[in-house]
Amino acid sequence: MSPPTTTDRILDSAETLFFTDGIAVTGVDRVAASAGVAIATLYKHVGSKDGLLEAVLERRLRSWTEHWDAAIEAADSPTDELLAVFDAVTSFRASAGATQWCSFLATASERPHPPGAGADPVLDLVDRDTRLVTDRLRELARSADLDDPQAVASSLLLLYNGVLGSLLRGTPDDPVALARRLALSVVTGSTGRTA
């Protein structure tokens, strides 16, 4: 394995600091120091603090999508494909750097989008993540030939969001496994058959 590039070191440091200490309180000087680069080098690679946050979220969204794609690919049935979102959370968290919880929810909580505000590439990434999760759950629920795919997708989205919040709180223990079991109950209840 080749050593991380300068950009990777900057993004790794930013991701860890942004999503453990907070975005607003983390200055680019701390990110640069953590990455072992000069501030001028950081700016050369990412342009600005917003550019840094955007690059971190873009990379994280790409990685999350890859994990979810792999979990769906490994699934044995349409039901398992639908529940793969929880398997993807487990594999993604095992490979991701140390962070408190979902970087997209953290960003949304620290960076509200006031009505009438102009375009914001960072919040556009938050929206892309939201659309990915909601649209994919809906499509997978339809593919599973459920009685009410929209209701199932909404229920699974609620469970998924609950997992992310529970990871931040640290309770209950193993929220991913619990949410997956509850999601299976939702899915089997919608089909009238057992999985």
What is residue 98's predicted lDDT score, i.e. its pLDDT? 62
Percent pLDDT > 70 in the chain is 94
What is residue 195's predicted lDDT score, i.e. its pLDDT? 45
What is residue 193's predicted lDDT score, i.e. its pLDDT? 47
162: pLDDT strictly greater than 70? yes
Write the DSSP assignment of 76-145 as a string of letters.
SSHHHHHHHHHHHHHHHHHHS-S-SS-HHHHHHHHS---TT----HHHHHHHHHHHHHHHHHHHHHHHTT
122: pLDDT strictly greater than 60? yes
For the chain, give the mean pLDDT: 92
Mean pLDDT of 68-76: 98
